[in-house]
Amino acid sequence: MENGKLHHAIDTLKGSGVRITPQRHAVLEFLMNSETHPTADDIYKALEGKFPNMSVATVYNNLRVLREIGLVRELTYGDASSRFDANTTEHYHIICNSCGKIVDFHYPVLDEIESLAEQVTGFNVTHHRMEIYGTCQNCREQKMVKQ
């Protein structure tokens, strides 16, 4: 992750009047460096060594603040724990049915679907979300090894 993105995010926090605690900074930095769309528990486990007094509730509270400011997106899929994504640009996710891995992908042509939906239904579309499911390469290779 480039430092510029983190500095911009910190400036956004300052501009919104939110205090930048060491824990909040660490949660944000971890998310911005992560490509795995971690859960709050994943973040807690990754940072507990650095912040032994930090609780899971602290992580959740920080994620809520970051989400409300617009620096983090919460992803909810079925009954599983929410996952968090610091990439708030329009993009899509492909999710492994076996291990739950989530990978970003971009396909700008799909953005046209919003204007089509507005034209067909008369709705004022605010956003859309698309999820694709399959089996990642690692899980496919592991399955082949077991056979």
Domains of the chain (ranges, CATH numbers): 3-85 (1.10.10.10), 92-146 (3.30.1490.190)
pLDDT confidence band for 78 (50 / 70 / 90): low
Q: Which of 99, 101, 57, 97 is nearest to 75 (CA)?
A: 101
* Mean pLDDT along residues 65-78: 89
**In the structure, how many helices (H) and strands (E) does the chain have?**
6, 5
Ramachandran area for residue 70 (φ above 0: left; ψ -120 to 50: alpha; else beta):
left
Residue 67 contacts by C-beta under 8 Å, 6 or more apart in sequence? 73, 74, 84
Q: What is the pLDDT of residues 30-69, one digit of tens each?
A: 999 998 899 999 999 999 999 999 999 999 999 999 999 9
136 or 11, which is more confident? 136
Q: How confident is the model at residue 127 (pLDDT cuts 50, 70, 90)?
A: confident
CB atoms within 10 A of CB 137: 10
Q: With cut-offs at 50, 70 and 90, classify the pLDDT of residue 1.
A: very low
Q: Mean per-residue pLDDT for 67-81?
A: 85
What is the model's pTM?
A: 0.79
